[in-house]
Structure 1
Amino acid sequence: MAGRRTRALAGTLVTLVVGTSALLAPPASAHGPGGHHDDAARFAKQVTTRGVWRHLEELQRIADRHDGNRAALTEGYEASARYVERTLAKAGYHTKRDPFTFDLEVVDAASLTLSTGESYAVDQMQYAPNSPETGVSARASVPVDPTGCTADAWGDVETVGTIAVVSRGVCSFAQKAVTAEAAGAVGLVVYNNVEEMLFGTLSTEGLVQIPVAGMPMADGLAVVEAVTERGATLTLDTRFHTEERTSFNVIAETRAGRDDNVVMLGAHLDSVEEGPGINDNGSGSAVLLEVAVQLAKQKHHHNTVRFAWWGAEELGLIGSTEYVDELATRPGELDRIATYLNFDMVGSPNYIIGVYDADESTYEAPVDVPEGSAQTEAVLTGYFDRIGQPWVDTEFSGRSDYQAFILNGIPASGLFTGADDIKTDEEVALFGGTPGIRHDPSYHTAGDDLANVSREAIGIMAPAVAFATASLARDTSAINGVKGPGKPGHHPGPGRPGHPGKHHGHGPGGEHRHLERAS
């Protein structure tokens, strides 16, 4: 799941924490499109945990052989792609590499140095300007209200010409930055309210003219102590430049099925640089791969099924965005896609069974939700209801590769077992596990290895992906009016009822810069 970002990814979708409902979501209809549940249920049984696990083991071996990761632009990613391609070719698919070029953001400086000698790592917030080449040096200011959200938070503290040091919380990073600059600060450091680096965004270009950075909570509190008790001054140095790079997605589709009605499924193949990424997102990639392998044995289905293993997701959803943007330049190509399903982290060790809340029954989405998305979600929730599996809604927030699809009016939903949110007592009652810790305690770390993946979660999610694939391969009538074989009122061609038309997507971006949260 995206933990990095592209500078060109505009603030249309402010990235939010992917949450879960506190209670079991109300059951959706148990009937997917066409009512061919028995066939889809039989196919679901063919996609097994054992089959998925073989792919996960290979992805772990690849990471082990390539500096412990499978990140974009590395040999580990290339080896991961070759494995997917070999496996698909053996199953009978013709695969295609879909290349894209983008501007990679390369960090030149990311430090906060104190006059007392200490130096701390920081992360330049998205859309914050570079500092001067030598950094900006000034005495520090700390507000009376640590969050620094309003002018009143500063009280009588002198802020003009200072580097402001504030805590995360209460308001957005953008508001903190605007408030600090208006008070005369020449820089802003926001420290986290949890024990990890703060990767933030100001959500839009040109909001302020001062450098803004995030840092971990413990480091931030140490800086506050040094400032308030020892009078330390600060030097904030945060700079980056861009370099053009090229990566690729891996695309494959079934030989069978009508070409004017395509069901598309995707999972990002790259990891972060910090670790092997076996849950994020080896789990989604492996499930998708096993579904594709088993689907190739089904010689007859009504709709084309297209699979995508996305590149450079962890650098800012780049591969999927570039793919959709390119399709948008070709008349009718986006209209061929009936719906898109995304699978990013489906094996979290402290898992939930989450379905993207496309019908907004629990969470209001921060974008217009394309028509047909709720019906796509209902295929997944209907399957869980049929087998008596509890599930919860997760925010339809655009934090993964479905973002470009929904921005371009394509229906979407997907599955998710949790990332960095804290598991609640209510979730434990539904799914077991440990309350008070993250759904994936090893999220974006070196610990995201094979031991970090829950076999139980895979055993629930893999058949659900398979069921949805088989069901939609036969009939998407509930989503776009295209009937399955032998059904009356067969839709004569592509397109979605009430389709809002195409919108411009967003372009590429960079490295070592994280797409996380705006507050």
Structure 2
Amino acid sequence: MTQVHPSRRSRLAVIGSAGAIALAGSVVAALPAGAAGGCETRTNNTVAKLTECVTLEGVTEHLEAFQAIADANGGNRASGTAGYDASVDYVEERLEAVGYTVHVQGFEFPFFRLGESSFSRVAPTATTYTVGTDYAPMTYTGPGTVDDGVVAPVDLAGTGLGSGCEAADFAGLAAESVALVQRGGCAFAVKAQNAEAAGASAVIVFNNTAGPLNGTLGAPGITIPVIGVPTALGQELAAAGTTVDLTVDAESEIRDTYNVVAELPGRTSDNVVMAGAHLDSVLAGPGINDNGSGSAAILEVAENITKLKPENTIRFAWWGAEELGLLGSEHYVSQLSDQQKADIGLYLNFDMVGSPNFARFVYDGDQSDFRAPVTVPEGSAQIEYVLEDYFEAQGLWYEGSEFSGRSDYQAFIENGIPSGGLFTGAEVLKQAYQVPLYGGTAGVAYDPNYHQAGDTIDNVDPKALETNSDAIAYSVLTLGYDTSRVNGVAGRPVPGGTFEADPTDRQFRVTPEQKAGGGGLSPDHDHDHDHGGVEA
């Protein structure tokens, strides 16, 4: 069910029966009367003008706002929380202040937060168990506390493959017993539903293979604690007279969250250039690099192009619930008609563009470095080359990044929309060959604070953030005027010209020889050309 943010119901245009936010033909109003002078009023219709106005200071202003929002809302900006809603409000207010008509698209999603837990055997032998090693609360478990709960083995005498899969398996279960079932035969949620319906106070599922059991119930709905344990522990707990204590602090429910969408109309509305970034953080931290950085960068670009009259409509999107499985972008695309999908000429994705131990990655549209797990639409290679053009002109090293399906480009790729974007690295370790090219430290993650409380404004690299923000501005402006390189739709060049470098003649693309050799410049690299210098 698609819902509108409650505070905005009176201000949003009515969404059609399909729920799609197509936006074509919306009008960008005049700037507020108080705006005057400099970048606020001029038409940034050349690369030089736009990149002069898209500044590190401007992007950082947005990051400071996201950090302040997280600080005031429990340390995070996760979808389904007050911190995320405040982030939506901030983006909406900034866009409206420069004249955009903003559409906020609501949707439901399964929210889950896991807090502290404890598990111990009271009898026959008192034993305390360690979370993550001896037991693991299942994703979407309900909360609760069980004191001296009697463990009741359920249908373990047979094959074990159907343990708890039928309501009849729980016949005779004493109320408030802790149901012990074995993995196999059906989904964990089925076992938990049957146990809860029979009056169990909690469910313990033990593995049928070696190792711990980290399971998921698939969606909210179970209201009692459900944990997984290894095989040996499950067999021990099946002993007669076993009682346990179990506490799980969790929130598991369906909540509302939102995408934010705004656009600058072009001369045509059937060749939309779309740029997106996910706005949500994980629950563990404020998400300033992941992905305040991409969100702030496209917001800064959007604020500085309001005077443009591009050939193609330029649409910006800030996605919700990306961290829960790319849910916002998938919902958005699923609500578009076939024609609305066809009207999107390309999609640019910017997810983590300021990693503190960064490398400079461009999504590998031509698959010269990686073979994507899904078919990459035709035209994606040319998006890669557009972004490479900028780094080539600046004398900045870069390399390919896999379309791995881990960010919001996925829904667009799956629907045949050419896609590309930038990335500066997450939990993977930096390689030795990259240090002479980008700086930083080998053997340390590109972002050591990835999905942690330390992903704060103090742990974003300003150099990476600034150069990537300019590359984003360049790609949005260039493609906003002309996508002929991507999809053959003729436009007109950006006033002042574009770089249009030859994709077969790249001097700053990292080579296989550099990767194999451990670092440094390639042997035949020309040191004499003037592209602004190699960034160390």
Q: TM-score range by the shorter chain?
A: 0.5 to 0.7
Q: In the alignment, which residue of structure 1 is the partner of 2:326?
A: 317
1:397 equivalent to 2:404? Answer yes
Please show how residues 189-228 of structure 1 align to structure 2 within 5 Å.
Answer: none
**Would the alpha carbon gap of residues 476 and 103 (structure 1) be closer, same or farther in structure 2, given more than 3 Å must change?**
same
- What is the number of equivalent residue pairs in this alignment? 378
Render the CA deviation track for 1:288-332: whole Å, top value 9, x for unaligned: 1001001113x22100000000011111111111000111xx230
SS in 2 for 1:117: strand
Q: Report the Cα distance in structure 2 between the residues aligned to 1:257 and 1:235, rounded to whole angstroms.
A: 67
Kept after mapping to 2: 8 A contact 1:189/1:214: no
Cα 1:239–1:81 change in 2 (3 A) is closer
Shift in CA distance, 270/45, structure 1 to aligned 2, threshold 3 Å: same
Of 446, 452, 471, the match for 1:464? 471
Give the corresponding residue for 2:290.
280
1:118 is matched with 129
Shift of 1:268: 0.7
What does residue range 5-24 of structure 1 map to in structure 2 within 5 Å? none
Alignment map for 1:137-286 (pairs within 5 Å)? 186-187=207-208, 243-286=253-296
- Report the secondary structure of 1:120's partner residue: coil
| Distance change >3 Å, CA 237–CA 394, structure 1 → 2 | farther
In structure 1, what is the equivalent of residue 306 of structure 2?
296
Q: What are the within-5 Å matches in structure 2 for residues 365-444 of structure 1?
A: 365-444=372-451
Which amino acid letter does the alignment assign opposite residue 276 of structure 1?
P
The whole-number CA distance in structure 1 between the counterparts of 2:76 and 2:229 is 25
Residue 119 of structure 1 deviates from its aligned partner by 2.6
Question: Could you list the per-position Cα deviations for residues 223-278 of structure 1 after superposition, in whole angstroms to 9, with x for gaps in the alignment?
Answer: 9xxxxxxxxxx999999996332211000000334111100010111111111111
CA-to-aligned-CA distance 1:349-395 (integer Å, 9 cap, x gap): 11111111121111111111111111111111121112111011111
Within 5 A, what are the aligned runs for 1:50-69?
50-69=57-76
Deviation track 1:143-194 (CA, whole Å, cap 9, x = no partner) reads xxxxxxxxxxxxxxxxxx9999xxxxxxxxxxxxxxxxxxxx8345757xxx
Secondary structure of the equivalent of 1:333? helix
Q: Take 1:47 and 1:101, find their aligned partners in 2: how far apart are those partners?
A: 34
TM-score w.r.t. length of structure 1: 0.65
Q: Measured at CA, do residues 118 and 404 of structure 1 come closer, stay the same or move farther in structure 2, by a change above 3 Å?
A: same
Letter in 1 for 2:333: V
3-state SS, counterpart of residue 339 of structure 2: coil
Distance 1:111 1:311, change over 3 A: same
AA matched with 2:207 = V
Distance 1:116 1:422, change over 3 A: same
C-alpha distance in structure 1 between counterparts of 2:401 and 2:493, whole Å: 36
CA contact 1:137–1:235 (8 Å) conserved in 2: no
Which residue in the other structure is 2:351 paired with? Answer: 344
Structure 2 CA distance for partners of 1:47 and 1:200, relative to 1, 3 Å? farther
Distance in 1 of aligned mates of 2:479 and 2:265: 16
Answering whether residue 79 of structure 2 is matched by residue 72 of structure 1, we say yes
Shift of residue 83, structure 1, vs aligned partner: 0.9
Contact 1:47–1:294 (CA<8 Å) still a contact in 2? yes
Contact 2:265/2:312, CA 8 A, preserved across alignment? no
Which structure 2 segments of 5+ residues have no match?
1-44, 154-179, 184-205, 219-225, 234-243, 495-536
Equivalent in 76, 85, 92 of residue 92 of structure 2: 85
Q: Residue 136 and residue 412 in structure 1: after superposition, are their counterparts in 2 closer, same or farther (change >3 A)?
A: farther
Aligned to 2:316: 307
Q: Assess if the C-alpha contact under 8 Å between 1:200 and 1:214 holds in 2.
A: no
Alignment partner, residue 40 of structure 1: 47
Amino acid of the structure 2 residue aligned with 1:262: V
CA RMSD of aligned residues (A): 3.9
Per-residue deviation at 1:40? 2.9
Q: What is the CA distance between 1:108 and its match in structure 2? A: 10
With over 3 angstroms needed to count, the CA separation of the structure-2 counterparts of 1:419 and 1:235, relative to structure 1, is: farther
| Structure 1 CA distance for aligned equivalents of residues 309 and 89 of structure 2 | 28
CA distance in 1, matches of 2:150, 2:434: 46
For 1:242 and 1:91, the matched residues in 2 are separated by 38
Percent identity of equivalent pairs = 47
Identify the structure with bigger relative contact order (alpha carbons < 8 Å, sequence gap 6+). Answer: 1
Amino acid at match of 1:117: T
**Offset, 1:127:** 12
- Provide structure 1 residue ranges, at least 5 long, that are not aligned to the other structure: 1-37, 139-160, 165-184, 192-197, 204-210, 216-222, 224-233, 488-519
- Report the 3-state secondary structure (helix = DSSP H, G, I; strand = E; otherwise coil) of the residue aligned with 2:46: helix
Residues 333 and 135 of structure 1: CA distance in aligned 2, closer, same or farther (over 3 Å): farther
CA-to-aligned-CA distance 1:427-457 (integer Å, 9 cap, x gap): 1121000111111111111111110111111
Q: Aligned letter for 2:283?
A: E
1:66-98 superposed Cα distances (whole Å, 9 cap, x missing partner): 111111111111111111111111111110101
Alpha-carbon separation, structure 1, partners of 2:439 and 2:214: 30
- Does the CA-based 8 Å contact 1:103-1:244 persist in structure 2? yes
The one-letter amino acid of 1:311's match is G
Alpha-carbon displacement from aligned partner over 1:205-229 (angstroms, at most 9, x marks no partner): xxxxxx99699xxxxxxx9xxxxxx
Indicate conservation of the 8 Å contact 1:370/1:409, yes or no. yes
Tell me, yes or no, if the aligned pair for 2:207 and 2:229 is still in contact at 8 Å. Answer: no
User: How far did residue 106 of structure 1 move?
Assistant: 6.5
Q: Is the 8 A contact 1:63 1:76 kept in 2?
A: yes
* Contact 2:276–2:350, Cα closer than 8 Å, also in 1: yes
Change in Cα spacing, 1:235 to 1:84, as seen in structure 2 (3 Å) is same
Q: Would the aligned equivalents of 2:291 and 2:352 in 1 still touch at CA under 8 Å?
A: yes
Structure 1 outlier segments of 4+, above 3 Å: 103-116, 121-128, 133-138, 161-164, 185-191, 198-203, 211-215, 234-243
Distance 1:296 1:366, change over 3 A: same
- C-alpha separation in 2, matches of 1:275 and 1:214: 28
SS in 2 for 1:50: helix
Determine helix, strand or coil for the equivalent of 2:356: coil
